[in-house]
Amino acid sequence: MPISSNRIGPYEIVAPIGSGGMGEVYRARDSKLGRDVAVKILSEALTSDADYIARFEREAQVLAALNHPNIASIYGLEDGAIVMELVEGATLADRIAEGPIPPAEALGIAKQIAGALDAAHEKGIIHRDLKPANIKVTPEGVVKVLDFGLATAAQVSPTASANPAASPTLTIRATQAGVIMGTAAYMSPEQAAGKPVDRRADIWSFGVVLYEMLTGRRLYDGETLSHTLAHVLTMEPDWTMLPKSTPAGARRLLQHCLIKDPKKRLRDIGDAWTIMDETEERGPAAQPPPARRSRYERIAWAIACLALLIALGIVARRHFSEQSSVARLSLLAPEKTSFVSRSHPTLSPDGRKLTFIVASETGTQLWLRDMDSLVARPLPGSSDANDPFWSPDSRFIGFFSQGKLKKVEVAGGPAQTICDAPQGRGGTWNQNGVIVFTPAGTEPLYRVAAAGGKPARVTELDPSHNERSHRFPWFLPDGRHFVYLARTRASEENAIYVGDLESKERKQIVAVDSSAIYVPQGFLLFVRERTLFAQPFDTGRIRTTGDPFPIAEQVDLDANNSKGDFSASLNGVLVYFSRGAGTAPLTWYDREGRPFGTLATRGGSSHGVAVSPDGATVAVDEADPSSGKFDIWLHVLARNTTTRFTFDPGQNINPVWSPDGGQLAFVSRRKGQWLIVRKSADGSGSEEILLTSPNSVVTHDWSRDGHYLVFGRMVDTIDLWVLPLSGDRKPFPYLATPFNEFAGKLSPDVRWMAYTSDESGRNEVYVQSFPTPRSKIQISTTGGSRPLWSRDGKELFYLALDRRLMAVEMKTGPKFEAASPKSLFPTGVSMALQNFDISPDGRRFLVPSPPAAETGAVPLTVVLNWPAALRK
């Protein structure tokens, strides 16, 4: 919560003390008792997040349950703020910054820390974020353990399954398997691997803190969070850094605490007291007086030294081998959001930050997460953002939104417009402040100054190769050359080229239908058949120098624009998004979201689903999981049979039924042309080509009277068109504006058109009269897409931006009336596809994935030190 005045209840705010990942701490004066206290307030950015509010309240409850001289006391809750004991003195991190702490003093501090942990563990509480910055030592030498914000109830059995010291705590959900909480340099290996934790995680952190006190240096300290996590998972402690004066018992204690396998680690922090007491009794390990050795003793000593050197060599080799290990982590979407089908995860060049696109109740937006931070945050001005890319110094993010190319500084501030880009398709930014980008889906590449200005063309489309677009550029290290994808009318002829800022010359590198990036380890990365490959590439000679190696499976690739959902940093961090092989089975749900039947599919992804007018058959376009080729299949529900409907070698998608159920119209992409085809539903007779277009088209609806076919056509933007099925059959534009209008559906009486438009800056559902558009009415109130009429025309359904299915009662006829939208149930339907439909009676909904919150739980995969996998 923000401080709107200098007072919270009876506490007068005096001065700020500090801030962390969850909140700010202030010194305050208790006007009733005349004492100074500490007041902890949840950060304003988190006050709307139920998860963090619960965690904040949990900290107060945890502190209230603990009464120990080495744990800061709580005085109460006041207006959402925690009022605590004010602990004077420096943090243990401040003390360590002055140099190593003498063993006797360090062990004295360690005993008090162990006492605090022992009291917490006795209450079944795990701290999970023990580090020097969370420990204070008063001027009187009393230790106080602070910040129980990540504390949690321990498992019943301990056997169940920039500056790291000051950095915010890293978290990816609570205590479930596959999540991480804690600060990287001090978390246990099981925490770093996202496994469940118990009190032995605190014991590991205790050992790390003791090691740091004795040595004056961190045990694990990588260049970035990613390196630090990798070190925690793979590297053994360097015991040679301990001072010679370290007592033998202290060494033994550290060795028991810092075992990577928690099953072999010290099981109870209370046992640390016993070992430390033994240390005080015995003192430092006795040093034998120098003695004159015999000749045989000297030979034995030499043999022992040689054996030690050999052993050290083996250990060193193993050590460096471990350093090159690959670590994989999962990263979930922020609370109350979900990754969209094109999440575009994008790492900053230094590997310290990550951007991605998520959907929430307010729409889709670009978010930023510092890789060592507790909190991800939305970036201002990035609603409906697409294709983010970084400045080379990792300070700015460029992206496309609302028909503009924009940039925003990650340190804060509003988004700034650079130039127009109606339908941006990727950008790249060099060290000289030049941005190369694609302004629209049928354009070559342009250059513009990052400060803004008039774009200038950099490449030319080659008509001899039927090129339709150049997109997704990526600068090579010299800042002059760049790789990009050239798309043609036939996806099998698409290829990666290298272009040049100073000439129009170019060179083909790889024949592949995918975006590509270059990483300084000497590889081009691209996707082929959902496998991410790394191919050796020589930037000096501008050519590949070896065969591609697979480095990740089931990586998402948007077949509509050839963009791969992956990214890599300069320092060996890789991130990609994958929803797994294929999609979830099509499932029937009632209006309350209760499932009652599943339609088995072939496991491939799908663009379109259409229920026949009599409800007996479902047409689905499905991709072959191995080849990626789309065909339309018919599922006869009563017989539970599935038959293939299209057989030509092209891509066949977006089926729509004729009103009598006797025919299907669909889109077929063949030899670089987009066709709208009509064919008998029983497979008899020959197909009829209704429309041929060089630009992409999508079939949306077949009017109830049989006279019109509604389709979308994209040039610079997506427009709604109508194809008459009688008379001269000349298609005409229904809505052609500077904005995107799509997903058009005609009312049963063919008087009204429902559609989606982004004219307001986000997708909303509108209704206008047909065939002449006028009397426009907005149906959705907080964003929406993909409208569907009930068969009787009394309801209109659509998807809200958070993917909830909404229903609106309607009155059509000459006068149109619409009630307020009502929420039915959450779905996992992609806003970009037409892959759901309703039954003729309007009581059942065919949805491709469960209508539950787990759709947002599909994680990003983060791979640390991925190039090491190529050496194995």
pLDDT in tens, 731-753: 999 999 988 899 999 999 999 99
What's the whole-number mean pLDDT along residues 749-759? 93
Weakest-pLDDT range from 151-160, 171-180, 496-505: 171-180
pLDDT (average), residues 424-438? 95
44-58, 67-81, 310-324: which has the minimum mean pLDDT?
A: 310-324
Tokens of 224: 């970035």
Percent of the chain with pLDDT over 90: 40
Residue 755 included in any domain: yes
Q: Specify whether 592 is located in the same domain as 720.
A: yes
Residues facing 404 on adjacent strands: 401, 420
Count CB neighbours of 335 within 10 A: 15
Q: Which residue has the tokens 């299209």?
A: 646
| Number of structural domains found in the chain | 4
Output DSSP code: residue 285.
P
CATH code for the domain in which residue 482 is found: 2.120.10.30
Q: Could you tell me if 523 and 537 are in contact, meaning their C-beta atoms sit under 8 angstroms apart?
A: yes
Say yes or no: 750 and 648 in one domain.
yes
Q: Can you tell me the mean pLDDT for 494-522?
A: 93
Buried b (16+ CB within 10 A) or exposed e, 555-580: bbbbbebbbbbbbbbbbbbbbbbbbe
Kindly indicate the confidence band of residue 599, based on its pLDDT and cuts at 50, 70 and 90: confident
* Stretch among 84-88, 192-196, 313-317 having the lowest mean pLDDT: 313-317
What value does the mean pLDDT take over residues 456-469? 92
User: Which pLDDT band holds residue 82 (cuts at 50, 70, 90)?
Assistant: confident
Indicate the pLDDT class of residue 478, thresholds 50, 70 and 90: very high
How far out from the chain centre does Cα 230 lie? Answer: 20
Residue 179, pLDDT above cutoff 50: no
Distance CA 454, CA 446 (A): 10
Range of the domain at 523: 337-580
The last residue of one of the domains, among 62, 86, 110, is: 86
CA diameter of the chain: 115
Does 789 reside within a domain? yes
DSSP secondary structure code for residue 642 in this structure: E
CATH code at position 316: 1.10.510.10
Q: Which of 73, 81, 79, 78 is nearest to 56 (CA)?
A: 81
Pairwise CA distance, residues 107 & 275, whole Å: 11
List Cβ<8 Å contacts ≥24 apart for 311-320.
319/235, 319/236
**CA-based Rg of the chain, rounded to a whole angstrom?**
32
Residues in the chain: 872
**64, 86, 108 — which closes off a domain?**
86
DSSP state of 866: G
Closest CA to 367 of 410, 403, 321, 428: 410
CA-to-CA dists, residue 413 to 317, 431, 446, angstroms = 48, 22, 26
Question: Burial of 172 by CB count in 10 Å (0-12 exposed, 13-18 middle, 19+ buried)?
Answer: buried
Residue 187, phi then psi, degrees to nearest 5: -80, 155
**How is residue 751 annotated by DSSP?**
S
- Dist CA 451 CA 802 (whole Å): 35
- 625 pLDDT band, cuts 50/70/90, is low
The answer to whether 758 is a known catalytic residue is no
With respect to residue 697, please indicate whether it lies within any of the assigned structural domains.
Answer: yes
The highest-confidence range among 308-317, 430-439, 553-562, by mean pLDDT, is 430-439
70 and 103, same domain (yes or no):
no
Which one-letter DSSP state was computed for residue 239?
Answer: G
Q: Which residues are bridge partners to 598 per DSSP?
A: 587
Based on the fold, state whether residues 317 and 375 are members of the same structural domain.
Answer: no
293 lies in some domain: no
**Residue 169 DSSP class:** P
In this model, does residue 806 exceed pLDDT 50? Answer: yes
pLDDT attached to residue 578: 78
Same domain, 202 and 222: yes
Q: Are 324 and 871 in contact (CB under 8 A)?
A: yes
Peptide linkage before 771 cis (omega within 30 of 0): yes
- pLDDT (tens digit per residue) in 137-152: 988 888 998 876 545 5
Residues 456 and 541 placed together within one structural domain of the fold: yes
d(CA 584, CA 607): 13
User: Tokens at residue 215, please?
Assistant: 């040595």
Q: What is the pTM of this model?
A: 0.52
- The C-alpha atoms of residue 863 and residue 207 are separated, in whole angstroms, by 27
- Token pair belonging to 714: 């994209």
Query: Could you give the CA distance from residue 282 to residue 275 in angstroms, rounded to a whole number?
Result: 11
Please report, as a single letter, which amino acid is at residue 209. Answer: V
Q: Are residues 369 and 431 in the same domain?
A: yes
CA distance 589 to 837: 11
Residues 6+ apart with CB under 8 A from 230: 222, 323, 325, 327, 864, 865
In a domain, 833, yes or no: yes
Amino acid at 677: V
User: How far is 612 from 839, CA to CA, in rounded Å?
Assistant: 8
Are 215 and 100 in contact by the 8 Å Cβ rule? The answer is yes
Most confident of 167-171, 670-674, 785-789: 785-789
Give the pLDDT score at 170: 43
User: Residue 13's domain is classified under what CATH number?
Assistant: 3.30.200.20
Rounded to an integer, the average pLDDT of 411-434 is 91
In a domain, 438, yes or no: yes
Q: What is the DSSP string of 506-532?
A: EEEEE--SS-EEEETTTEEEEEETTEE
Same-domain status, 496 and 594: no
Give the C-alpha separation, 702 to 663, whole Å.
10
Mean pLDDT of 670-694: 91
**Is 862 among the domain residues?**
no
- 866 is a domain residue: no
Task: Give the Cβ contact number of residue 526 at 10 Å.
Answer: 27
Predicted confidence (pLDDT) at residue 88 exceeds the cutoff of 50: yes
**Under the phi-then-psi rule, with left for phi > 0, alpha for psi from -120 to 50, and beta for the rest, what region is 433?**
left
- Tell me the C-alpha distance between 223 and 323, whole Å: 13
Domain match, 491 and 612 both = no
pLDDT given at position 309: 41
- Out of 314-318, 331-335, 551-555, which region has the weakest mean confidence (pLDDT)? 314-318
Q: Name the catalytic one among 129, 384, 513, 701.
A: 129
Q: Which residues share a beta bridge with 756?
A: 742, 765
Same domain, 692 and 613: yes
Q: Are residues 570 and 623 in the same domain?
A: no
Instruction: Please identify, among 580, 613, 644, the residue that sits at the C-terminal boundary of a domain.
Output: 580
pLDDT at 607: 67
pLDDT beyond 90 at 96: yes
144 & 271 share domain:
yes
